[in-house]
Amino acid sequence: MSKYLVVFAQAHQEFRVPELESVAQLYNFKISLSDEPEERDPSRPFMIIELESENHVRLLAKRCILIKSIYEFYGRGSTYEVLHLRNRAKRHMWERYIPETSFKFIVAAYNHKIPQHRQKEVVESFAYMGFMGKIDMKTPEITLGCFEEYATRNGQTRERHEGDGDFLQVYFGRLIEEGTARPLVQLFDVKKRSYFGNTSMEAEISLLMANQTLACSGKLIYDPFMGTGSMAYPVAYFGAQVMGSDIDGRQMRGKQTTPGVFRAASQYGVASRIIDICTFDVTNNPWRCGGLFDAIVTDPPYGVRAGAKRLGRKKELDADRLALYHEHRTNPRPDDSPYIPPTRPYELSDLAVDLVLLARYLLKPGGRLVFFLPTVTDQYEEVDIYTMLCDGMEVIANSLQDFGSWGRRLVTIRKVTSELYPPPDFSIRDSEAQDETQRVPAHRHFREKYFQGFKKAEEVEAENLSHLP
Amino acid sequence: MVRLLTHNLLACHVKGCTSNNFPLQFQNVQIELREADFNADFLKNFLPKLEWKALVDSAKDLGDTSLPLEQPEMLDDEFLKNLHHVLLEIHVEEGSMTCPNCKHSYPISNGIPNMLLAEHEIG
Domains and CATH numbers, chain A: 2-178 (3.30.2130.30), 186-307+346-469 (3.40.50.150), 309-343 (no CATH)
Of A259, A275, A287, the CB nearest to B112: A259
CB atoms within 10 A of CB A83: 21
Across the beta sheet with A2-8, what order do the strands follow? Answer: A31-33, A46-51, A2-8, A67-77, A169-178, A142-149, A103-110
Name which of A36, A8, A373, A292 is nearest B45 in CA terms. Answer: A292
pLDDT at B29: 94
- The answer to whether the peptide bond before residue A338 is cis (omega within 30 degrees of 0) is yes
Name the DSSP letter for residue B89: I
Partner-chain contact A285 B2, CB within 8 Å: no
B33 touches chain A (CB under 8 A): no
What band does A453 get if pLDDT is binned at 50, 70 and 90?
confident
Percentage with pLDDT > 70 across chain A:
93
- Under 8 Å CB pairs connecting chains A and B tally to 110
Question: How far is it, in rounded angstroms, from Cα A382 to Cα A441?
Answer: 9
pLDDT at A24: 97
Mean pLDDT taken over chain A:
88
- What ipTM did this prediction achieve? 0.95
Q: Is residue A433's pLDDT more than 60?
A: no
What band does A315 get if pLDDT is binned at 50, 70 and 90?
confident
Question: How far is it, in rounded angstroms, from Cα B92 to Cα B4?
Answer: 8
Residue range A54-60: mean pLDDT, rounded: 96
Q: How far is B20 from chain A (nearest CA, A)?
A: 12
CA distances from B51 to A181, A439, B45, B46, B48 (A): 39, 44, 14, 11, 8
Of A247, A276, A291, the CB nearest to B6: A276
Q: What is the largest CA-CA distance in chain A?
A: 94
Least confident window among A69-78, A339-348, A407-416, B100-109: A339-348
pLDDT, tens digit, for every residue of A139-150? 999 999 999 999
Most confident of the ranges A201-205, A285-289, A382-386: A285-289
Of B1, B22, B114, the CB nearest to A276: B1
Q: How far is A108 from chain B (nearest CA, A)?
A: 44
Name which of A8, A353, A339 is nearest A171 in CA terms. Answer: A8
Q: How far is A383 from chain B (nearest CA, A)?
A: 32
Residue range A264-276: mean pLDDT, rounded: 93
Name which of A270, A288, A282 is nearest A234 in CA terms. Answer: A270
What band does B8 get if pLDDT is binned at 50, 70 and 90?
very high
Least confident window among A83-92, A270-279, A285-294, A420-429: A420-429
Q: Is residue A338's pLDDT more than 80?
A: no
pLDDT, tens digit, for every residue of B26-40? 999 999 999 999 999
A56 touches chain B (CB under 8 A): no
One-letter amino acid at A237 equals Y
Interface test with A, best of B12, B22, B42, B43 (most A CBs within 10 A): B42
- The CATH code of domain B2-121 reads 2.20.25.10
What DSSP line would sit under B10-74, residue for residue? B----TT--SS--SPEEEEEEEEE------HHHHHHHGGG--HHHHHHHHHHTT---S-SS--SS
Question: How far is it, in rounded angstroms, from Cα B37 to Cα A389?
Answer: 37
Residue spans of the domains in chain B: they are 2-121
> Is A25 or A10 the better-scoring residue by pLDDT?
A25
Instruction: Map residue A364 onto helix, strand or coil.
Output: strand
